[in-house]
Structure 1
Amino acid sequence: MTSLLGRGVRRDISDRPDPDTDQVRALLGVALRPTGVAIVLISAVVIVTLVASNSDLTGVVGAIAACWLALHQVSLTITDAPLGVLPLLPTAVMMWAVARGCARAVTARSTLRDAARVVAAAVAGPFVMTLIALAVVTDATSVVALEAPNAAEALAWVVGIHLVAAVAGVVATTGRAECERRGAPSWVPEVGRPAARAALALFAVGSAVTVASLVWSWSDVGTLLGDGSDPVGVLGLTVLSVLYLPNVAVGAVAVLVGGTAHAGGTSVSVFDIVAGPVPPVPVLGGVPGELVGTAWPVLLIVPLAIGALLGRDCGRLRLPVQETAYTVGCAAAGVGVVAAAVGFVAGGELGAYGFVGVEPLVLGLITFGFLALPGLAVATLIARRDGVESDGGDETERTEKSDKFAETAAFEDTGADDPALAFEVKRLALPSMRYRSEPEAGTDADAESGPESEPGSAAGPAAPDTSDGSGETVLEGELVDDSAAGPTDVADTDVIDVEVEAVPQDQDEPGEPETSPGTDETETTSDEAAEAAEGDLPDGPLTPSD
């Protein structure tokens, strides 16, 4: 008996997962998964590199910790030489993974509190790992020729990188819904897509220019690769060049928009080149030493064309002219801010060669100008051609969007795709049908007097008035939607008239009971017909399916 009761209790327990448990599991995944994967990959690369170079594994833990800091663009000092230029490719891949994980951890209906929890979890895991890495690097300075970096600077870099990635992922999922919930103008959620296209176009053109320059200077690149002296060294230099390729592409973008890129003692722009010593990295073998010809300023057409494409994308949103201009300006400003931030991260000091990189503030301002001016011109032309008029004010628009969002959120749980459709279905799902026998006009008193009145008297029931003399009784029914109309709302009530004809049975059929003497035959026949007709009808309310 005890075992049976125990099994019954266990069956009563729901097998559904606890929402709080799922949320905790998701937050732990956001906090630990990118950090764990990064540490595993770094450990594998460090161990393979040390084994391939016939080195001992004495400082492997310190090397792993140093690589974790380098992954977050923390400047290191190795053998008294500063290493401030760190590859962007691993950092970009890690930020993409963090943003993707945060985007999956939220939905469009998530609140700001849920989004803040996801962002905090994405920052907390790397923060703890950085504290451990700083302690390991400090302890390994006695074994490896490595100086411990500034702890505050290292933590700031780690928190900033993961914060930007997490916020980008969360906004990608909840941004549009949050703008509608807050009643933001219609053009605000549309800024991100054109800005992202323009930024990717600039980076793609810079990468293409870098690859073309490497192919053009392949002899110099091959000479630098030959300094590896063995296959393992050549492979290491090749991998290093691939990792630094985005850094060089950022310098190419700066040159294309009219800025200046610095590579050690060499400065490159479309107007002038100052030659000097270049770090011996194969990816920098394509840096030109002098200008050939005078057609280099023609390259400025590239950012102008990208700005025109930005204006075309904003103009196709079919917004009024003023809102289209706002969209172009915000998109160009966003690309300029991103260009300045990436330019700042991509540069730094490199030992005795000095500064390698671009001027971030100049890069951001020039990028904004080259995108905003042609973008505004093209977007304004497209908006005027389409002739989209303003809808009468931002306040009205925000109010309508807020009401629409609230209505959508109220009916999301019903499973309906359209809130209006869900409302109509809910309204028509509850009608009831009531049938009543309605005599002809002038016989209300007869109906109230009851069947016990004397036949032929004023209070007695009258025979049904039939135009064709067939003696048929007509019953009228009403299909009334009780839920749709209130006590005073009669105009909105849905009424459907139903006529049911009851034909009395033939009196001449065999086996039919005879009419008793003294009873009106017509009255008896009509009463029996009415009872027979009403006997087939239900007594209570019916649904349309009955």
Structure 2
Amino acid sequence: MSSRSNALVRRTSGSLGREDAAPPPGREPGWWTPSPERARALLLVAARPTICALAATVTLVLVVMLTTETELTSAPGAVGATWLAAHQIPLTVGRTTLGLLPLVPTALLVWLAARECARAVPNRPQPIDLAWLAGAVLAGPLLMTAVCLAVTGDAAGVTPLERPGPISAFGWVIVLYLGAAAAGIASRAWPALCDLLPVEIPEWAVLGARAARRTVLRMLGCAALATVISLFAHLSRFEGTYQQAHNVTDVLGMSLLSLLYLPNVVIAAAGLLCGAAVQFGTGSVGLFGVGGGQLPAVPALIPVPEGPASAWWPALLLVPLAVGVLGGIELGRTSDDRPGAPWATLTSAGLSTLAFLVLAALGSGQLGAVGWVGVDLLMLVPLMVTWFGFGGFVGMVFARRFLAPAAPVEDYDEDDYDDYYDEDDYFYDDEDDADPDDTDHDDDTYADADPAVELDAELVEDIDDEVEVSIAAPGSTTEPNAEIVDAEVVEADLPEGDTTTGR
């Protein structure tokens, strides 16, 4: 085998990923036994997010205890309670139930797990690969949750902390990390997931899902802007909020706690802009009225408006309507399937409402003596479906009648590019291989060319010898014009046979 053939074999084998390489000779492992490379990747998926979360939890608990001069004997129970609270597991301290938990730690944990899961997705995933990933992403958190449940049970004699129920604890962990695994896998292998489904996903469903993602982000952005504006409008409450702080440590603790609860406030503001009431125990706040109720004195609740309701507050309902109209305009301009565009609009409205329903459920819960705090979910669902659905149809009709269609943007996947073009294909390992930039060729390369297809320069007449040829249509009585066409006559050898037709 020549050196060029050896280089070609090496380049071809090097361009294949580890997942596609042929297994070593011998007995092949079963489907229940992953390869060593896959085992290492799954171990990282199971261990790395859990270790990072545990390290951050221990550090936070120790810093708080050292700054507040608390005895370290209660540190294990505090670490276990913090881990459970970060996974939205309700805690009971004495007779007080704390179910309204901050969403920032939960979002960070889910993001870490999804990111690690996305890194471990193979190029061509099979159902068994996805099952291994789902099991790996659940293994570490479930093990750590079991340890924390045991620690909180043992620490009941030191701290007045009641151990949560194992069903609710493991249920929350499974739901959160399965969602993280689904998000991570879909971000890297969405076409492969579609191929594994028994039915084909219609195009309007995909367009509706993409529009729903944009709608949710826009609505959250509008809610965050409204929260900031309301915060500056109620700056006079700062002094009364921090009256319970006795030193700098208390001020920093209250400020940090308010930042952790900031996503909860933004989600409540999104529901408020849609017309749903936000309940605070026996009281409520809405665009059409403010009921009585005692609000906790924390900086996170400074943007909450006070009563009575102003006459211009219902005008804020134009915000979700405008968000829905904008989503419909995008669908009307980018969708080539005119019959499927209304279905895409309905899909976008339904998925957007479902996303906000999940977020509102996560951002709500019991808050001690105050009672249940959160958005009224029974009002939120019909209102959001109405604003996003009706606004989407209005925007879609407007775009079809008055706006030019936008050019479709094709998604570019870097992994697809790497599958077709491997950088190893452009390098040569042996010195005998030809240089791709070398344009010099041996004359022997063309020495064996077929003489029948070569041009005989001697049979080509001189270019200057031109013959004027006049062409007229068949049956035409018009005399040919000699100046119509100037053609060069080139004589060539005909093959043996008929010298007239060349056959």
Give the equivalent residue in structure 1 for 2:189.
174
Task: Please tell me whether residue 362 in structure 1 is matched to residue 379 in structure 2.
Answer: yes
What is the TM-score with the length of structure 1 in the denominator?
Answer: 0.67
- What aligned pairs does 1:128-527 form with structure 2 within 5 A after superposition? 128-179=143-194, 183-383=200-400, 415=421, 476-477=451-452, 497-498=453-454
The partner residue of 1:36 within 51, 58, 75 is 51
CA separation of 1:149/1:383 partners in 2, compared to 1, >3 Å: closer, same or farther?
A: same
Tell me, in whole angstroms, the C-alpha distance in 2 between the residues paired with 1:38 and 1:416: 37
How far does the alpha carbon of each residue in 1:308-360 deviate from its partner, in whole angstroms, 9 at most, with x for none? 11112222323222222222211211111111111111111111111111122
Give the equivalent residue in structure 2 for 1:439.
none
Give the equivalent residue in structure 1 for 2:64.
49
Contact 1:260 1:359 in 2 (8 A): yes
* Bigger mean CA offset, 360-369 vs 252-261: 360-369
Unaligned runs of 5+ in 2: 1-13, 20-34, 406-414, 424-444, 459-503
Tell me, in whole angstroms, the C-alpha distance in 2 between the residues paired with 1:281 and 1:371: 33
Tell me, in whole angstroms, the C-alpha distance in 2 between the residues paired with 1:65 and 1:56: 16
Tell me, in whole angstroms, the C-alpha distance in 2 between the residues paired with 1:108 and 1:383: 40
CA separation of 1:117/1:188 partners in 2, compared to 1, >3 Å: closer, same or farther?
A: farther
The partner residue of 1:93 within 90, 108, 113 is 108
Tell me, in whole angstroms, the C-alpha distance in 2 between the residues paired with 1:165 and 1:82: 27
Contact 2:212 2:352 in 1 (8 A): yes
Tell me, in whole angstroms, the C-alpha distance in 2 between the residues paired with 1:105 and 1:264: 45
CA separation of 1:384/1:125 partners in 2, compared to 1, >3 Å: closer, same or farther?
A: farther
CA-CA distance at 1:414 after TM superposition: 5.6
Contact 2:208 2:348 in 1 (8 A): yes
How far does the alpha carbon of each residue in 1:2-34 deviate from its partner, in whole angstroms, 9 at most, with x for none? xxxxxxxxxxxx9x9975322222211111111
Give the equivalent residue in structure 1 for 2:439.
none
Contact 2:289 2:309 in 1 (8 A): no
Tell me, in whole angstroms, the C-alpha distance in 2 between the residues paired with 1:314 and 1:140: 56
Give the equivalent residue in structure 1 for 2:118.
103
Contact 2:288 2:313 in 1 (8 A): yes
Residue type of the alignment partner of 2:137: A
Tell me, in whole angstroms, the C-alpha distance in 2 between the residues paired with 1:346 and 1:141: 28
Give the equivalent residue in structure 2 for 1:449.
none
CA separation of 1:331/1:117 partners in 2, compared to 1, >3 Å: closer, same or farther?
A: farther
* Count of aligned positions: 397
Residue type of the alignment partner of 2:297: P
Contact 2:278 2:284 in 1 (8 A): yes
CA separation of 1:368/1:102 partners in 2, compared to 1, >3 Å: closer, same or farther?
A: farther
CA separation of 1:387/1:300 partners in 2, compared to 1, >3 Å: closer, same or farther?
A: closer
* Bigger mean CA offset, 234-243 vs 188-197: 188-197
Task: Please tell me whether residue 118 in structure 1 is matched to residue 114 in structure 2.
Answer: no
SS in 2 for 1:274: coil
Residue type of the alignment partner of 1:171: A
CA separation of 1:412/1:353 partners in 2, compared to 1, >3 Å: closer, same or farther?
A: closer
Contact 1:81 1:352 in 2 (8 A): yes
**Larger RCO (CA under 8 A, 6+ residues apart):** 2
Contact 1:179 1:189 in 2 (8 A): no
Contact 1:318 1:383 in 2 (8 A): no
SS in 2 for 1:82: strand
Tell me, in whole angstroms, the C-alpha distance in 2 between the residues paired with 1:169 and 1:175: 10
- What aligned pairs does 1:10-25 form with structure 2 within 5 A after superposition? 20-25=35-40
Residue type of the alignment partner of 2:48: R
Give the equivalent residue in structure 2 for 1:398.
none
Identity %: 33
Contact 1:187 1:319 in 2 (8 A): no
Contact 2:208 2:346 in 1 (8 A): no
SS in 1 for 2:276: coil
CA separation of 1:229/1:171 partners in 2, compared to 1, >3 Å: closer, same or farther?
A: same
Contact 1:72 1:91 in 2 (8 A): yes
Residue type of the alignment partner of 1:272: G
Task: Please tell me whether residue 71 in structure 1 is matched to residue 48 in structure 2.
Answer: no
How far does the alpha carbon of each residue in 1:160-198 deviate from its partner, in whole angstroms, 9 at most, with x for none? 011112111211222245436764323333333321111
Residue type of the alignment partner of 2:421: G
Give the equivalent residue in structure 2 for 1:62.
77
CA-CA distance at 1:87 after TM superposition: 0.5
Contact 1:220 1:286 in 2 (8 A): no
Residue type of the alignment partner of 2:364: G
Q: RMSD in angstroms over aligned alpha carbons? A: 2.9
* Bigger mean CA offset, 124-133 vs 185-194: 185-194
CA-CA distance at 1:114 after TM superposition: 1.9
Residue type of the alignment partner of 2:103: L
Residue type of the alignment partner of 1:274: G
CA-CA distance at 1:90 after TM superposition: 1.2
Tell me, in whole angstroms, the C-alpha distance in 2 between the residues paired with 1:298 and 1:32: 50
CA separation of 1:181/1:412 partners in 2, compared to 1, >3 Å: closer, same or farther?
A: farther
SS in 1 for 2:164: coil
CA separation of 1:306/1:173 partners in 2, compared to 1, >3 Å: closer, same or farther?
A: same
How far does the alpha carbon of each residue in 1:98-151 deviate from its partner, in whole angstroms, 9 at most, with x for none? 222222222563233322322221112111111111111111111111000111
Tell me, in whole angstroms, the C-alpha distance in 2 between the residues paired with 1:69 and 1:85: 13
